[in-house]
Each structure stands twice: as structure tokens, then as C-alpha cells.
Amino acid sequence: MRKLYLFTVLIISVQTAVAGYLDGFHAEKVSSHVYVIHGPLELPNENNEGFMNNPAFVITDDGVVVIDPGSSVHTGNMLLREIRKVTELPVIAVFDTHVHGDHWLGNDAIQRNYPDADIYAHHKTISMIDSGEGKSWLELMHSMTKGATDGTHIVNAEEALNGGEALSIGGHQFQVIHHGQAHTVTDIMILHMKDNVLFTGDNVSNKRLIRMADASFKGNIEIIEAAKNLKPAIVVPGHGKTGGAELLDNYHTYLSTLYSNVSKYFDEDLSDFEMKPKIHVELTNYHDWSGYEDELGKHISGAYLEIEAAAF
């Protein structure tokens, strides 16, 4: 009896410790059918359990459609907790916007609770996760969070998309947009037609500069232009608060200002570190964005390499 009591106390305290941080997040209704949990803006660490993206869900006539269930099974469970506050309908589908693990590792929680849910992703997301990216992301999350994401298993999407699809799920239409290499080679954006809500994945970020190590700056600028042509009423970015179409303009201006200036100074034979202070001055509106100090230099080097490669 005593043993059982001790065991119970231990379990409860472990659960409290693990669940504490994620307890503080709640879904916000952003349109008639769409809810978003806005994740923190800092990088994965022990305290935030790797949670940093914007898990979202759509309540359709027959069930719930999830977009990007987050960085771990724990984040996925937190998302399911929030879904259950607004509906008893089951999760029937998931979209993973791209291969980066902070967006899709939460698939594990969905599959454990709703094994019949269809998980959709671009076919390159699926093949890259299968051929090693999945394991790398699991290990990266483990090391960045000092084990806080442990217990998460790789659950890959099975429904492969190319882009250009118009899917009917639960009586709602979802349009899938892919534009070659943008934030990665694997991105899909999802337009929920009924509410005119665009889920951009990491092709758009709000008040946070994000990793562009796998990106094409030119491709990312182009996919945002395609997004603007869709004229969404509401834009759910990969990171940062949801807003209107101005989010597309803000991030487009950042990328295009950066790219055009790197291109100009490249033509003037400046090195990437020589152009950095000049470009910093052009980006005054972004100095308060989270990650600016860490990412600007990397973005300039990345754009420089891309422009250099295009010049040959």
C-alpha cells in the first residue's frame, strides 16, 4: 500500500513537472472554424520542451483537421487537450507543412489517440523523414531540450502531396500550395477556403527571424507573392502571432530587402561581413524581431551563396 502511494506521488509529481510549461498555452479562435495555439518565440530548450511553433486546428462538419502538431508527443497531447475543450469530434486529418521537426514530431500524439487520422505532407517531407531527417530531428530536439521531448516516436505522414491539390475533408475545402524550394524543398501552404485562412508554414514568420539554412531566398520571396495572390483574410504564420495579409507584406519586405541588398553589394564586390552593417541599417523595422541578432549574419551568408551560385 505504502509502495503504491509513493509510486503514485512520484507519477503525479513527474507529470506536473513535465506538463507545467505546456499547461500555460491555450487555443485562440481566429475565425469561425479555426483555432491556433501560438507557441513561444525562443529556440527549443529544457524549459519550453522544444515547443516553438503554431499548432492549429480546423473544426469541420465531421471532425478536426490539425495543421502542424508541434515538436513532441507532449506538444501534440497539449494540442489534443485544447481541441477537446471545443469539440468532441475526432481528429480526422493532419497536415505537416514541412520537414522541420518542431512542426511534425507531435504526429505521434495524434496517431496514438486517433489512429485512423490521415496524415498529409509533401512527398519530399515523407521521403526525407524516412531517409534520416526524422531521426536527426528527434535527436536534435532531445539534445536541445536536455531530454524534455523524450517519449516521442517518429510518426511520418502517409498521404503524399505534390501541391496543387484541392482536398475535401469533413465537408471543408483545403487547397494545397507548393512552390519548389522556398523555406525548404518540402513546404506546403494550406488554404482553408470556407474561412479564407492561409497556413503558411515557415514560409512566413511574424516578429521572429527563423533558420533559413535549407531555404531558397528567391523561392521564399516567390511563394509569398503566390500567397498574396490568394488574398487570404487571415494568415497563420509558422512562428509568431496570427494576423491579416499584412503579415505576408512584412515578411516579404524583410526577405526582399535582404536579398536585393546582398545582390547589390555582391555586385560591388563586398564580402558578406562588409555588407552586414549596411544591410542592418536597411532593416530598422526588424531590429526588435526575436532571433534578429542570431540570424541576420546567417541570412546574409545564405543569400550571398545563393546569389554567387546564380552568377555562375
- Rounded least distance, CB 247 to Zn ion, Å: 16
- Rounded least distance, CB 237 to Zn ion, Å: 11
Binding mask 137-156 for Zn ion (x = CB under 5 A): --------------------
Closest to Zn ion by CB, 202 or 222: 202
Closest to Zn ion by CB, 169 or 295: 295
- Rounded least distance, CB 202 to Zn ion, Å: 4
Indicate the residue type of 172: H
- The candidate with the shortest Cα–Cα distance to 133, out of 104, 163, 176, is 104
- Rounded least distance, CB 100 to Zn ion, Å: 3
What number of chain residues touch Zn ion (CB under 5 A)? 2
Quote the CA–CA distance of 126 and 96 in Å, as a whole number. 10
Strands (E), the chain: 28-29, 34-36, 56-59, 64-67, 91-95, 118-122, 159-161, 166-169, 172-177, 189-192, 197-205, 234-239
- Rounded least distance, CB 281 to Zn ion, Å: 28
Quote the CA–CA distance of 72 and 249 in Å, as a whole number. 31
Indicate the residue type of 49: E
Closest to Zn ion by CB, 100 or 252: 100
Q: Are 63 and 174 in contact (CB under 8 A)?
A: no
In the structure grid, which three cell numbers stand for residue 248, read together? 505576408
Closest to Zn ion by CB, 103 or 252: 103
Q: Are 166 and 188 in contact (CB under 8 A)?
A: no
- Rounded least distance, CB 185 to Zn ion, Å: 12
Asked if 100 interacts with Zn ion (CB under 5 A), we say: yes
Closest to Zn ion by CB, 100 or 207: 100
- Rounded least distance, CB 238 to Zn ion, Å: 6
Quote the CA–CA distance of 162 and 171 in Å, as a whole number. 22
Closest to Zn ion by CB, 63 or 69: 69
Closest to Zn ion by CB, 63 or 102: 102
Footprint (CB under 5 A) of Zn ion, residues 157-216: 202
- Rounded least distance, CB 197 to Zn ion, Å: 20
Quote the CA–CA distance of 80 and 87 in Å, as a whole number. 10
Q: Are 60 and 169 in contact (CB under 8 A)?
A: yes
**Three-state DSSP class for 47?**
coil
Quote the CA–CA distance of 61 and 40 in Å, as a whole number. 31
- Rounded least distance, CB 139 to Zn ion, Å: 17
Closest to Zn ion by CB, 100 or 124: 100
Contacts 24+ apart (CB under 8 A), 37-40: 37/78, 37/79, 37/82, 38/240, 38/241, 38/242, 39/70, 39/239
Closest to Zn ion by CB, 99 or 258: 99
From 48-56, 94-102, 108-116, 282-290, span contacting Zn ion (CB under 5 A): 94-102
Chain residues binding Zn ion by CB under 5 A are 100, 202
